[in-house]
């Protein structure tokens, strides 16, 4: 896809100027390009004006998707992300799309590796992301208290689907932050409408 870098950089500056203070990205987005382009914008923005969230586990290059949830790759990935983003501290590091990972590896390898980075002072907080609402809770419980500080879920706290609502009290009781992504249900609730690849049924789209 064509990408207008100038407009992209302007969008980041405009968002910060209008008070948006959480920037969420991933090595997987644009196969590293999202972090690289965001890093250009962040060079010119006061670090105190935003919280930065990125991820480990999902990658890709030349159009080929890759998954690697090993502890070694997680640590390597964070350092590579910081280089692309032109920062020396990441506020929130997430295990990306846990439904593609081996649950035991996430709990016993990926999360402990990320906590090592917290201990070393280059990461602030550790979270997980994914689409299936029950799986986020399941891994949170099995990982144990204090291992997961935020959960990011998408398309399940919006006008047509509020499945995430059932677990809000649970996360509050654990003092775990909830990040609600895609509140417009991946374009379904926007004036633009759902893209062709959207998984919703024709009935829901209509």
Q: Which residue numbers are catalytic?
A: 29
Separation between Cα atoms, residue 62 and residue 19, nearest integer Å: 35
Separation between Cα atoms, residue 114 and residue 72, nearest integer Å: 10
Q: Where are the alpha helices (DSSP H) in the chain?
A: 5-17, 33-42, 71-85, 103-105, 111-120, 133-143, 168-173, 202-205
Burial of 159 (0-12, 13-18, 19+ CB in 10 A): exposed
What length does the chain have?
206
Distances 26 to 29, 45, 92, 108, 162 between C-alpha atoms, Å: 5, 19, 11, 22, 25
């Amino acid at each position: 896809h064509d990408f207008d870098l100038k407009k992209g950089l302007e969008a980041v500056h405009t968002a910060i100027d209008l008070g948006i203070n959480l920037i969420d990205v991933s090595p997987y987005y644009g196969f590293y390009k999202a972090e690289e382009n965001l890093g250009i914008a962040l060079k010119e923005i006061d670090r105190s004006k935003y919280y930065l969230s990125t991820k480990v586990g999902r990658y890709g290059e030349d159009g080929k998707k890759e998954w690697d949830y090993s502890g070694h790759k997680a640590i390597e990935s964070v350092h590579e992300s910081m280089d692309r983003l032109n920062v020396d501290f990441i506020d929130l590091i997430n295990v990306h799309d846990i439904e593609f990972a081996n649950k035991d590896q996430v709990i016993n390898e990926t999360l402990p590796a990320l906590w090592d980075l917290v201990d070393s002072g280059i990461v602030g907080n550790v979270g997980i992301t994914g689409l299936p609402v029950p799986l986020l809770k399941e891994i949170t419980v099995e990982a144990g208290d204090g291992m997961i500080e935020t959960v990011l879920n998408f398309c399940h706290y919006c006008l047509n689907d509020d499945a995430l609502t059932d677990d809000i009290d649970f996360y509050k009781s654990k003092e775990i932050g909830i990040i609600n992504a895609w509140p417009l249900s991946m374009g379904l609730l926007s004036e633009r409408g759902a893209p062709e690849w959207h998984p919703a049924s024709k009935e829901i789209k209509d």
